[in-house]
Amino acid sequence: MKAIVQDRYGGPEVLEFRDIDQPVPTDNQVLVQVQAAGVHRGDWHIMTGLPYMIRLAVPTLGLRKPKVPVFGMDVAGTVEAVGPRVTRFQPGDEVFGWTDGSFAEYATAPEDHLAAKPAALSFEEAAVVPISGLAALQAVRDVGEVQAGQRVLVLGAAGRGRVVRGPNSQGVRRPRHRGGRHQPAGAGRLDRGRGGHRLHPHRRHRRDPAVGGDRGHRGRRTLAQLRRALTPTGTLAIVGGEGGGRVLGGFLRNLRAPVLSRFIGQRLRMLASKPNQDDLQVLWELIEAGKLRPLVGQTYPLGEVPEAMRALEAGKTRGKIVITV
Segment 175-190 mean pLDDT: 40
In 10 A of CB 79, how many CB atoms? 21
At 172, the pLDDT band (50, 70, 90 cuts) reads very low
What per-residue confidence (pLDDT) applies to 185? 39
- What pTM value is reported for the model? 0.80
In the three-class reduction of DSSP (H, G, I as helix; E, B as strand; rest coil), residue 111 is classed as helix
**Least confident range of 32-46, 151-165, 172-186, 188-202:** 188-202
CATH of 2-128+294-324, one of 3.40.50.2300, 3.40.50.150, 3.90.180.10, 3.20.20.80: 3.90.180.10
Q: Give ∠ CA 181-183-189 in degrees, rounded to 5.
A: 120
| Check whether domain 132-271 has CATH 3.40.1710, yes or no | no
**Per-residue pLDDT reduced to its tens digit, 112-146:** 999 999 999 999 999 999 999 999 999 989 988 88
Question: What's the mean pLDDT when you consider all of the chain?
Answer: 81
Answer with the residue of higher pLDDT: 23 or 54: 23
**Per-residue pLDDT reduced to its tens digit, 3-22:** 999 999 999 999 999 999 99
Write down the domain spans for the chain. Answer: 2-128+294-324, 132-271
- Secondary structure of 235-277 in HEC code, one letter for each residue: EEEEECCCCCECCCECHHHHHHHHHHHCCCCCEEEEECCCCCH
